[in-house]
Every structure is written in C-alpha cells, then in structure tokens.
Structure 1
Amino acid sequence: MLLTLNRPDARNALNSPLAENLLEALAELRADSHWRACVLTGSGSSFCAGLDLKEFSDPSRSRAHIADSICAVSEAGKPVIAAVNGPAITGGLELALRCDFILAGESAVFADTHAMLGAFSGTGLASLLSEAVGTRWASQAMLTGEKIDAPTALRIGLVNEIVDDRALPERACQVATRVAAAPRSVSDVARRTLKVAASHTLAGKLHAEHQIIQAYKSAKEG
C-alpha cells in the first residue's frame, strides 16, 4: 500500500480531515490481509510540515485526533516505511519516527519545533527520537529547533539511506516489495521481537515523558 499525504499547497500539514483520512487508511491497512507492507510519503516537495497552525491557532483546541493519527502508524500491524521527500517538521518528524524505518530523499530535512512554539509532543517524540539518535542529538534537535539535513540524518542514524529525490518513490516501493515477500509469520515475529527488545526501556521512557508533561500542565493550570 502507498499512502500519500495529499495537501501539497499546505506542505501536507496535518489538519482534521487529513488526520481522519490517515486513520481510515491505516485501519484498512491493518484489516486487509492483502496488504503486507506500506510506504508513507507526501505529495509535492514536502513530507509533512507538521500541524496546520491555521486550524489550530487556538491553543485550547483539542489536537488529540492528530496525535491519534500519528500513533496509529506504529499500530497498523504491518511494516510501514517512511519515504521522506523534503521537510519532515515537528508532526512530520513524529510521523516518520512512528514508521519501522526511514528512507530519505536528498532534499529531506528534519526538525522539531515544539520548544519554539511553546508546545509539547503528544506522541512520545522525546523517547522515540532519543531511541533513534541518542540523547545528545535528540537534546540538540529538541532544544534548538535546528534543521537536520539528509546527510546528517544518515550519519546520526535517523534515516536508513539517502536516495535521489526522483528515485525515492521507486526505491521505497522496491524495499516494501522485499519486505512483503517475506513469510508473514516470520515478518511478524521479527517485528515483535524488535519491539520487545526496545520496549523494556522505551515503555518506561514514554510513561515518564507523559507524566512529566502532565505534571507541568497541572502546575501551570494551578
């Protein structure tokens, strides 16, 4: 299955309709045994610019369904490969991190701007990013909001490989085809064992991150 975020005029920023469509597509991926693997990419020259700030300019507006759509990527029950074609900013980075692994076009750029916006991730970004690149790189990325280009992303382990932008869709589908060719039972076991290996530390990190953010919000409201 090829899932394409299709709001090119808004650099594929996540709004309510896009989040709902993504949730529906991921539910179909999970339910239909015909689909054995998935490629997630963006239309035009961007992967995903994050949250649609025009829609969510009111900080009191609920963004839970956006977080649900991002988290659903790692709960689809099938391997999901991110083909990052351009900027993957904040929510876009969260989407990519929820995939099994990431292929990047030469123009791919990653950044987390939560701190700059005075916001928090609702999808465990700190835990997932530090798991991928280590605490020091994650700290720099999250505290500065600086962009990480494709060569740097490859060097620090954020992405698996860099592909010419024009060849990225073909390469991603080629990799997905190879993933889908493996016996389903073997693929499932491999993915489960990888998650178990990571979960002993990651689950604790995700829980602690959630608790810290909730405590901060409660103190601020108090």
Structure 2
Amino acid sequence: MDYQLLAYKQEDGVAYITINRPEVRNALSNRLVDELEEVISQIEKNEELRAVVITGAGDKAFMSGADIRELVERDAIIGRKHTRQRQELFSRIENLNIPVIAAVNGYAIGAGLELSMACTFRIASENAKFAASEVKLGIIPGAGGTQRLTRLVGKAKALEMILFGDIIDAGEALRIGLVNKVVPQDKLMEEVSAWVKKIKALPKLAIQYAKESVNRGANLGLEQGLAHESYLFALACTTQDKKEGVAAFLEKGRRTLLENNI
C-alpha cells in the first residue's frame, strides 16, 4: 500500500508509525484506518521487531479524534461497521507480541485517546492533553474508550471523563494512571528511545508472555488468569532465554562470592 496519511519505517528492530495529517491535527479518517491495518499486518509478520512506537506528526497533536467530516455521514449501519473495524484494529495493536509505546506529543482526544490506550505504554510531553469528548458530539466513545479507560483509571474517573468530556492535562493524566511518564516536549523521543533500549535488552519471549498474561488476565476471573499465567510460565521455562538468564545470574552470584572471599 502507498501510505498517504502516515509515515512508516523500521530501524534497528523497532517499527515507527507517525500519523501524518498535521493539517487536521492527525484526525483519524477511514483511509487512515485502512493504512494502519496494513502497517499492523506488516508488523505482525515481522519476527525481528522488538518494539513499536506510535506518534503524531508535528508538535500539536498525537491524534485529535475522528474526522468530523466523515462522522456527519454515519448512520446506525455505517456507525456499527466503523466502530467494529476500529475496535478490532486497536485490539490488534494492544495484543501485538511486542510492546507498543505511544509518544503523545499534544492532543489525544476521542479516537486519539483510544489509540493511545491500546498501546502498552504512554509517554506524554508536558503539552499533551487528553479527553474522551465524544459526548459533546452527541455520541459515545466507539473504538474501545468506555472499556479501556475504565480498566486503566477505574470506573469513577472513567465515568467523569466520558460523561463530561473535559480535557485533562499531562500532569492529571499521570496522577490518575493514564500515562506512564511525562517529559518536556523536546525530550519526548529521547525518553521513548530510552524505553525502547530497555525493552531490547530484555528476553523477547519473556516480554511477550508477560504482556499476554497481563492483557488476558485483565479480561478473565482470577482463577482463569492464574491458570493462564501458569501455562505461560511453563512455556517460558522451555526457552533458551531462560537457560541463559538463569546461568548468567548464577555466574554473577559466584563471581560476587569470589570477589568478596566468601
């Protein structure tokens, strides 16, 4: 596919997706959804990748929401079709085998908030703003917002954000647990790079299994979640990474004992 509304590159085991509609604050259009689906298909097939970074072009917006011009045309049938397509796309992003970092560089409103919440981590610049503002348009979040926001910040805060649609700043987003870290605008990608470096230094399968266990467990009862965790732990015990990790730990302990004449 010839990408018109996003930029995509792979570099040193990392996939970088930049939403590239700065003239409309990177709003999510139907065409952009199609392009994101194609990019995610490429990422799903690439076993060499260790992380994904998603951001928006410019310094004003990560993604400002859905394209209002297209919203005008939606009736019940089209609305159902589009929300299901976007829900499935964001679930694919959430459930990728590798971590996904949202570098939130400005407004993350409506669909932008929903996209950021589908990512594993959210690192925000100090000028970032967040809102589930759909109610002000006479609709509700439709790409996972009512579900993921509740799971991230709790029912009370999620209801406040969804029912009032007010914008919160990066500091408040950090306080309620919506984002992982807030940094100055000019340090955003530097911080993202530091997180990517941490991810790449860790065993890939352990990261994959841990992420899957948390994501699946969030939607299961405790007993089912524990059973799935046990299954993934057992799988991890069969990997070369586990053998090398344990051996390295034991060797480090042996050297420490020798160095201290113990």
TM tier, smaller: 0.7 to 0.9
Q: Does 1:8 find its partner at 2:28?
A: no
Structure 2's unaligned 5+ residue stretches are: 1-14, 222-262
Aligned equivalent of 1:58: 73
Query: What fraction of aligned residue pairs are identical, expressed as a percent?
Result: 35
Judge conservation of contact 1:37–1:177 (CA < 8 Å) in 2.
no
SS in 1 for 2:72: coil
* TM-score (normalizing by structure 2): 0.73
Q: Structure 1 residues 153 and 123, CA, compared in 2 at 3 Å: closer, same or farther?
A: same
Letter in 1 for 2:175: R
Aligned equivalent of 1:48: 63
Higher relative contact order (CA 8 A, sep 6+): 1
- 2:208 pairs, out of 188, 191, 201, with 188
CA distance in 1, matches of 2:26, 2:66: 9
Q: Runs ≥4 in structure 1, deviation > 6 angstroms?
A: none
Per-residue deviation, 1:193: 1.8
SS in 2 for 1:38: strand
Per-residue deviation, 1:78: 1.7
Quick check: 5-14 or 172-181, which moved more? 172-181
- 2:102 pairs, out of 73, 82, 99, with 82
Judge conservation of contact 2:86–2:143 (CA < 8 Å) in 1.
no
* TM-score (normalizing by structure 1): 0.85
Pairing 1:49-198 to 2, within 5 Å after superposition: 49-60=64-75, 61=78, 62-63=81-82, 64-198=84-218
Structure 1's unaligned 5+ residue stretches are: 202-222
CA RMSD of aligned residues (A): 1.7
CA distance in 2, matches of 1:100, 1:108: 18
Q: Does 1:28 find its partner at 2:42?
A: yes
Q: Which has the larger radius of gyration?
A: 2
Judge conservation of contact 2:111–2:143 (CA < 8 Å) in 1.
no
SS in 2 for 1:123: coil
Q: Structure 1 residues 68 and 197, CA, compared in 2 at 3 Å: closer, same or farther?
A: closer
Per-residue deviation, 1:198: 1.3
CA distance in 2, matches of 1:146, 1:163: 22
CA distance in 2, matches of 1:92, 1:137: 18
> How many equivalent pairs are there?
202
